[in-house]
Amino acid sequence: MNIKNVNWLCLLFVLLPLSLKSMDVRENVDKKDIQNTIQSPYFEKLYANTYNSLTERLDEKGYLPESLTGAYSGMFPRTTGAYVLLLLETEQQEKAERTVNYVLKTLEKNKIEYVPRVIGDNYNIEDDQFQIDAQAHIILAWSRLALSRERTTFEDETWEQMRAMMKFTASRAFFLYGHWAIEPGLVRNIAFEHSKDARMWDTFDLLTQSFVGAALADMIEIAKRQGDEEMAEQWSHKLRRLSDGIKKNMTTNHYGPTTYSEMRLPDSNAGIPYNGLGWVTLSPIAAGWEGVDHQILKNTVQVMNEKLLQHSNGVYWMPTDGYPDGTFSNEIIGKGIGWEIVFAANEKDYNRLSQILHMIQIVNDKHPIYMEGAWLQGENYWQNKRLSSEDIPLMKDTEWKVKDAGNGEQTAWWCWAMACARKTLGLSAEPKLTK
């Protein structure tokens, strides 16, 4: 080997460590590779910092502030659903009960029968808007907690309140089933808080169907052990109706194979399909309940990976939202990333897991705790701008910007995903660096 070749090799070994973050992740990744990545100092620290941030901000009453940066005020009951599922994975039932009970006490003290959008730190209500998906999150949190242990005093004391809440949620005021044309067998959400267009939507969305279905499935079991066979039978009937409604009206062949539809928009009839893609179409993963065959979820993720997943500057990133016309948002969302992690871990898709973890390390690198979301900034590109495939080659000098690091909802879902993935990989659900 001549001296010129030796010099080039030396230069290569000097530059290689500096260029690793800009390189594509490798293919043919196996389980051991993912175990090593998740147990690396970077991910152990990020997971521990984020998990500890969530568990330490819960006060003695059970109040959980949504934001550390002031981006959002109060406590969002919708976050409680994710937070409790995380705490159950790490066997923190006492904290889970405390925060669910805070929501229920807030309803009692304010003499309301539904879950409001935002509550305050003294059992007060900051925003009384009704979002039925948030209500389903609370019911699911309560029921999953109940089913994680034997029958308790807390379950018995709050059963009637939760029974009434489930009855209200599954009533025909919202769950439109029957023989009328306006009844597609789905639950209507009149204020679905969507990243898409950053607004509320009046819609039949997949997230609401998934969480109401999951809540019904759990509440049926609890009704049986509470000796309420009549309620269990009514809810079983409604669960079958909801499954039928999802199969008939929340699936589509728009992309080729049968996938989930993101939403169905009311039109004074049974509604019209909105065949978008994004975090909403991953909702069955988070809810832990699928109203139809698992293959439809697999098809949905496959289509998202083929048609929505983007690749720029060595990073694979899944946009928060994809639109029916093929455009997509210039943003990624924390919970969607988490739900992808759970699916990839369960399906043993280690290549996709490697891509996701590599992306997190690049995007979230400057922040000690996990993000709410991020976007590519620069060259006339900004947060949540709608992009097409033609934009990607033009975004070479854009930089990732992170928003609201430590956000309650997004970090709770991501920590839940990490706990689930770690358990699937044979690791402890709880981070090693807990305080």
The full set of domain ranges for the chain reads 23-56+308-435, 60-307
Q: What is the pLDDT of residue 24?
A: 57
Count of alpha carbons within 13 Å of 140, Cβ hemisphere only? Answer: 30
Sequence-ordered list of residues with C-beta below 8 angstroms from that of 122, at least 6 positions apart, any chain: none
Distance CA 408, CA 422 (A): 21
10 Å CB burial of residue 298 (0-12, 13-18, 19+) is middle
Q: Element (H or E) spanning 409, and its range?
A: helix 408-424
Question: What is the DSSP annotation of 183-227?
Answer: --SEE-EEEEEETGGGEEEEEEEHHHHHHHHHHHHHHHHHHHHTT
Q: Do 419 and 89 contact (CB within 8 A), yes or no?
A: yes
SS3 for 285?
helix
CA dist 51 and 74 (Å) reads 19
**Full-model pTM:** 0.93
Mean pLDDT, 10 residues at a time, over the chain (435 residues)? Answer: 43 38 68 98 98 97 96 97 98 98 98 97 98 98 98 98 98 96 96 95 98 98 98 98 98 96 94 96 98 97 98 96 96 98 98 98 96 95 94 95 96 98 97 80
Taking domain 60-307, whether its CATH number is 3.40.50.970 is answered by no
CB 395 within 8 A of CB 379: yes
The count of other CB atoms within 10 Å of the CB of residue 244 is 16
Which residues are paired to 373 by β-bridges? Answer: 333, 403
Q: What is the token pair recorded at 113?
A: 């029968």
Angstrom distance (rounded) from CA 145 to CA 171 = 24
Query: Cβ–Cβ contacts within 10 Å for residue 127, how many?
Result: 13
Report the pLDDT value the prediction gives residue 20, as an integer from 0 to 100: 39
